[in-house]
Structure 1
């Protein structure tokens, strides 16, 4: 029935009543019985047997004269008539289906058993045959159990004729058993036990509970996992379930609040409404139910309650209280310690705050306390309260499981934790607990599981841990522990199966002849100091399945004996060491294992494992030679293949197309040649393809467009030619498209802006693309890095670029760009971003980067004012183009700019004072333009002298040339613009005056020079000299002396170029 050991007195009485009823119904004839079974009953049983297939001979005793002596047959002691058939003897089936192999067809001969009251065919296998309708005519039936017997189809409504039936179990396992109409259940007026777990009741209608309400004798109701459509809030005309003690409606999608009538079930002892999609407040009236000992509302996700009030309720007999995975809030009240009957309290995965109250120590009967996955933020109490009720006068004398992981608990680990005499599991992982591990934990003699991972524990590990003889799991990973680990730490850990010590600064210092007392299945010592020699004691671990020695300071070869040990490994991780030499080929490893030997000094040809594996990472080593051409045939189950940063040569094998489960293929930074194989289209689950930094040639195959799940594509730094194939538009999940540093040509396709809606990174730099930039690129609302530098793109910057929504506001939430997933492994996106005239590698913070790089093209037009809307843009590079005009003063609104490069264009006018408002700017380059006037003072500009080189008409700090004194007073931007315009008018009038006379002297001899070419060179040399002297005279009149000198120097450089 699901009662816990130690239920209330009422639960015990109910259990005894049902056991007595079952024993009464199953009286089996004794050997000294005076009456044998009637011939008619014997013949009926033989006919029933004839319709069955019994490969296990469970009915082998069914022969001879007296059927009352047959196994599983019960008879009336007075008349000898058959009263019961029970084919299930209580033993567990040995096959994987969980049922006996008894099958066949139920014979209607059972009808001839006129006295049959008890029929139990549970755990048989009738292979999806329907329940026979004739069972509904067996009017004396009191007990019917057809549960998990392989029946399928609709339950016949004729069962509703069994008015004497008290026990009905039709629970289904994996068989499609259903009810078309539910009304027939109301005919079972004597029913006390109804179980239909797993039966499809989705068509029962909204009145199914009203039908149940017509069963006044009902004691137990089990309808778990029945796809019930809803649950009524009221039972009309009134609740009639006064005897109901057990109700299990778990795993239904009721999508409702908790019904009011539940609190009126005064006989209720056991209630399970877990996984029912319930929402709303938990009624406090439930705490008033006098016999309630088991309540589970777990896994509803949206039930709410204030813990400080809910646990302050009456809860007179509650023993099991499970509210896991909901939305409980508030603090645990001190009154929790008054619920003295409590044996299990499950509040996992809620929003409980505060801390664990010290009054919890008064719960003498508490065995299980689970507060994991909450928001507890106070330290554990230094001491616990005790109760006089507890026989031992110690706090929590019966606690076996303490789970407080995944909270925010700070402070130290108190000493009382080591004084819990019956503790079996201590789970405190992923908190903020600091200080040392108390030596008192070594007194927990019954402890089997210790989880202290993911905290801030420091100091050394106490050797008393080695006294825990029953310990199976020891996890102290991801802390700040240091010091030596010696043989004493493991001296009595004979039962240890899982040892996790990774991500600490521990030094494993044991004798070279040490033989551990344990045989572990999982051993993780990553980031511990094990080297420099390969640990010889590992040779003794014959049961090992998972091994992590990553970053363990090993500078040695892998010994030959290891490959005998590795044959059972499902995980081998020795990455980030300095392991040398060549690997055994084939590597002896378990099927479907994960192998990570990356970032070592391994050399030789690429080895392959002896069996098909799921993950192979040999990246960042010194392997050479080609990839075996048959790799796809040998390893068809690979999910991750990572061979980057080696010296691999040759072509990419076409057999990789046979890896139908492949999610990540990374072959970058090798010396691969040839084309990209067409067969990659067969890897339909591929999410990350990284082939950059090789010598691949040919065109991008259009077959890549068949990779519908592809999220990141890196083909940069190869020798690819042609255009971007239109078939790539089918890769609608693509977030990164990096084709930089190739020989691609043609126009940038406009469909990128329409067909790749989630694109984040578009990097096409250093190719041969031409034509204008398509304005459709601005349709990609997620675009945050746009790099089209070093191409032959022309025309203006599209005005639509002001609509790049991911750059409009600064990005504050970092999201790791991770693609593919398998057993905790993934492909982490990485990108080279050109900024500040250098390349920076971004990985973990890439999602925060916003950049537009259009440098090194042939772009024209004014400064693109539409970009001024991109206040979240960090990097803007328009250098090396043919752009002109002025910089708008509104550039001050681009508050996130860290790098701005406008060099080598033809921009002119003053430098807007608004640039000084860019407080985050650390790189500015305005060199080689035609800017003039005073450099604005303030901000970062005063420290960037080189940013203004090649602008001969600029003056003021940080340049050595000072501006005229008349310019010293600060001017508003409007005044500065007006004076700049006045200066421009002076220039115009000066040149107009001189030009009128100069033109007369120039045009006269021009006709002669056009005929006499030999005079032309000498003549124009003189003209250049005259023009320069006129300009010098103008500078002397109108321009400050320092700026005039710089202009003359610039003209001298121009003459030398010509």
Structure 2
């Protein structure tokens, strides 16, 4: 065991205190002890006995009792390359260090702890840093402008600090930032708008300023000089403006999210020129006009969210020609089952410096996706003013997992072949004006876990079988007064108790008696009328008849 170089006990089910004799494994290069909050450490001094340690991961370990001296312990481990103490227990970080010995440290991840202080300046002296994560803490005050001088820094995460962390753009962008690829400042205090000097971050690939306090203004056109930009997330940015059509100049853009940005006007047709785009989310704005057909050119798109706007137009093959034919034929990412996950990430073989994340409305709730973003193929155009029929072209999107069209004015029937979307997990057509029966093919949606067809004009019997039998909530069908089925108050004719053999025999006898008496009157009238007609029209028969009548009378009475 003394020759052991790599030890990974993460998520192995261990609990209790980490044993100090691990410090006897003096040749360890990599140590991973991440847990589910079941492990703890009274102190970390035993780590100083591991002179060759390069990679230390102790995320989700309770380090509250080691909080006051952990910095000094790590500072005595100059061989450390990656240090991850993500989430749990650390509440103190030394404001100063007499000397900084982190000469090899490339990755420092301290996210999700309870630091309630300013960011120490000594971190800005770790010149070897490539990735620095300080998000989800309680840091306050100004972001050290010295970070811009870190010569190797590629990833900087300072977001989600309860809006206590302030960024002075004028100082922040004074540095070179030549190598910075990822900048995450979401949920921070960014006063004013994005300055034109943003172009200085020439290597930037991902910019996230979502829901930052007090950030306003329009997007500067200087951002188009960031030719390597792949992700632009400005959710909550109070623009009060239209979407600039020059965004199409960001040819490498893969993710564009402008959620709740107070955007107005139409969606620019020029967005159809972002051929690398995989995610387009414009939810919660005041956009109007029709959905441009040019979006159908986005063959890599796997998530389209235009919900909560004021979009209008007739949802038909002619209006949505490129999007619904995909062309619907062009949106290949939605036509095929996404079995390979493509995540925007950076880092070595042992850890990722940064991973993409995204909030998506799926299955009736907001869900956050990280590792499986590209597997979430979704179209959400709910809560608009769209009209017309559901385009048949949607059936060609065989890779679709979520389809939300609720809260519009859609008419016509649900496509008969909707059962071909076999990967669907969430389907919501509620609050429209759809009519007709629920297609039997819907029972083929074996992955479906969220269904809502309420408040339409659907009629007939609710299909049963396969996955549809698992839905026991009648509210998903409510508001369709002509629907019937076991879940509803209105039972279908086929739901009534079938008659037994004895009941059938009684019914047959009653029918015979009823038919006998009902035929007596008409039979008498027809027979009597025929006789009278003959006697009136044929003289010879009349003479014979009366002669026969007189003879019968004589026999009976005389």
Q: TM-score normalized by structure 1?
A: 0.38
Report the Cα distance in structure 2 between the residues aligned to 1:452 and 1:584, rounded to whole angstroms.
Answer: 35
Change (3 A) 1:238 1:500: closer
What SS is found at the alignment partner of 1:247? strand
Q: Could you tell me which residue of structure 2 aligns to residue 480 of structure 1? A: 310
Report the Cα distance in structure 1 between the residues aligned to 2:170 and 2:157, rounded to whole angstroms.
Answer: 19
Q: Could you tell me which residue of structure 2 aligns to residue 445 of structure 1? A: 275
* CA-CA distance at 1:350 after TM superposition: 0.8
Report the Cα distance in structure 2 between the residues aligned to 1:582 and 1:509, rounded to whole angstroms.
Answer: 22
Task: Note the residue ranges of structure 2 that are not aligned, 5 or more in a row.
Answer: 335-376, 496-558
Q: Could you tell me which residue of structure 2 aligns to residue 268 of structure 1? A: 129
* CA-CA distance at 1:153 after TM superposition: 3.7
Q: What do residues 179-221 of structure 1 show as CA deviations (whole Å, max 9, x unaligned)? A: 2233333344555544433333222251232233333444443
Q: Could you tell me which residue of structure 2 aligns to residue 221 of structure 1? A: 83
Q: Is the 8 Å Cα contact of residues 389 and 411 (structure 2) preserved in structure 1?
A: no
Q: Is the 8 Å Cα contact of residues 526 and 549 (structure 1) preserved in structure 2?
A: yes
Q: Is the 8 Å Cα contact of residues 231 and 256 (structure 2) preserved in structure 1?
A: no
Residue 443 (structure 2) aligned to one of 564, 567, 576:
564
In the alignment, is residue 120 of structure 1 matched against residue 6 of structure 2? Answer: yes
Q: Could you tell me which residue of structure 2 aligns to residue 279 of structure 1? A: 140
Report the Cα distance in structure 2 between the residues aligned to 1:603 and 1:553, rounded to whole angstroms.
Answer: 14
Q: Could you tell me which residue of structure 2 aligns to residue 410 of structure 1? A: 241
Report the Cα distance in structure 2 between the residues aligned to 1:362 and 1:514, rounded to whole angstroms.
Answer: 37
What SS is found at the alignment partner of 2:468? coil
* CA-CA distance at 1:357 after TM superposition: 1.7
Change (3 A) 1:230 1:343: same
In the alignment, is residue 493 of structure 1 matched against residue 328 of structure 2? Answer: yes
Report the Cα distance in structure 2 between the residues aligned to 1:581 and 1:333, rounded to whole angstroms.
Answer: 59
Q: What do residues 594-613 of structure 1 show as CA deviations (whole Å, max 9, x unaligned)? A: 65222232366x722xxxxx
In the alignment, is residue 370 of structure 1 matched against residue 236 of structure 2? Answer: no
Q: Could you tell me which residue of structure 1 aligns to residue 95 of structure 2? A: 233
Report the Cα distance in structure 2 between the residues aligned to 1:555 and 1:148, rounded to whole angstroms.
Answer: 52
What SS is found at the alignment partner of 2:197? helix
Report the Cα distance in structure 2 between the residues aligned to 1:580 and 1:148, rounded to whole angstroms.
Answer: 52
Change (3 A) 1:437 1:176: closer
Larger relative contact order (Cα-Cα within 8 Å, sequence gap ≥ 6)? 2
Report the Cα distance in structure 1 between the residues aligned to 2:290 and 2:236, rounded to whole angstroms.
Answer: 28
Q: Could you tell me which residue of structure 2 aligns to residue 331 of structure 1? A: 193
Change (3 A) 1:265 1:600: same
Q: Could you tell me which residue of structure 2 aligns to residue 354 of structure 1? A: 217
Q: Is the 8 Å Cα contact of residues 218 and 241 (structure 2) preserved in structure 1?
A: no
Residue 575 (structure 1) aligned to one of 454, 473, 484:
454
* CA-CA distance at 1:169 after TM superposition: 0.9
Q: Could you tell me which residue of structure 2 aligns to residue 847 of structure 1? A: none
What SS is found at the alignment partner of 1:318? coil
Change (3 A) 1:314 1:592: farther
RMSD: 3.5
Q: Is the 8 Å Cα contact of residues 121 and 149 (structure 1) preserved in structure 2?
A: no
* CA-CA distance at 1:166 after TM superposition: 6.1
Change (3 A) 1:525 1:184: closer
Change (3 A) 1:118 1:452: same
Q: Could you tell me which residue of structure 1 aligns to residue 33 of structure 2? A: 171
For residues 129-144 of structure 1, the aligned pairs below 5 Å read none
Q: What do residues 395-452 of structure 1 show as CA deviations (whole Å, max 9, x unaligned)? A: xxxxxxxxxxxxxx422x3332334333333323433333333333333333333323
Q: Could you tell me which residue of structure 1 aligns to residue 18 of structure 2? A: 155
Q: Is the 8 Å Cα contact of residues 421 and 445 (structure 1) preserved in structure 2?
A: yes
Q: Specify the structure having the higher radius of gyration (Cα).
A: 1
* CA-CA distance at 1:234 after TM superposition: 2.0
For residues 635-646 of structure 1, the aligned pairs below 5 Å read none
Task: Note the residue ranges of structure 1 that are not aligned, 5 or more in a row.
Answer: 1-109, 111-115, 123-145, 378-408, 609-617, 629-1058
User: Would you say how many aligned residue pairs link Structure 1 and Structure 2?
Assistant: 439
For residues 308-347 of structure 1, the aligned pairs below 5 Å read 308-347=170-209
In the alignment, is residue 288 of structure 1 matched against residue 168 of structure 2? Answer: no
Q: What do residues 610-661 of structure 1 show as CA deviations (whole Å, max 9, x unaligned)? A: xxxxxxxx6xxx7489xx9xxxxxxxxxxxxxxxxxxxxxxxxxxxxxxxxx
For residues 668-817 of structure 1, the aligned pairs below 5 Å read none
Q: Could you tell me which residue of structure 2 aligns to residue 502 of structure 1? A: 382
* CA-CA distance at 1:590 after TM superposition: 5.6
Report the Cα distance in structure 2 between the residues aligned to 1:196 and 1:546, rounded to whole angstroms.
Answer: 37
Query: Where do 4+ consecutive residues of structure 1 move more than 6 Å?
Result: 585-588
What SS is found at the alignment partner of 1:290? coil
What SS is found at the alignment partner of 1:471? coil
* CA-CA distance at 1:337 after TM superposition: 0.9
Report the Cα distance in structure 2 between the residues aligned to 1:216 and 1:602, rounded to whole angstroms.
Answer: 74
Q: What do residues 734-788 of structure 1 show as CA deviations (whole Å, max 9, x unaligned)? A: xxxxxxxxxxxxxxxxxxxxxxxxxxxxxxxxxxxxxxxxxxxxxxxxxxxxxxx
Report the Cα distance in structure 2 between the residues aligned to 1:593 and 1:294, rounded to whole angstroms.
Answer: 48
Change (3 A) 1:204 1:420: closer
Q: Is the 8 Å Cα contact of residues 236 and 260 (structure 2) preserved in structure 1?
A: no
Q: Could you tell me which residue of structure 2 aligns to residue 256 of structure 1? A: 117
Report the Cα distance in structure 2 between the residues aligned to 1:213 and 1:186, rounded to whole angstroms.
Answer: 9
Q: Could you tell me which residue of structure 2 aligns to residue 433 of structure 1? A: 263
What SS is found at the alignment partner of 1:493? helix
Q: Could you tell me which residue of structure 2 aligns to residue 463 of structure 1? A: 293
Q: Could you tell me which residue of structure 2 aligns to residue 611 of structure 1? A: none
Q: Is the 8 Å Cα contact of residues 247 and 271 (structure 1) preserved in structure 2?
A: yes
Q: Could you tell me which residue of structure 2 aligns to residue 919 of structure 1? A: none
Q: Is the 8 Å Cα contact of residues 346 and 370 (structure 1) preserved in structure 2?
A: yes
For residues 178-189 of structure 1, the aligned pairs below 5 Å read 178-189=40-51
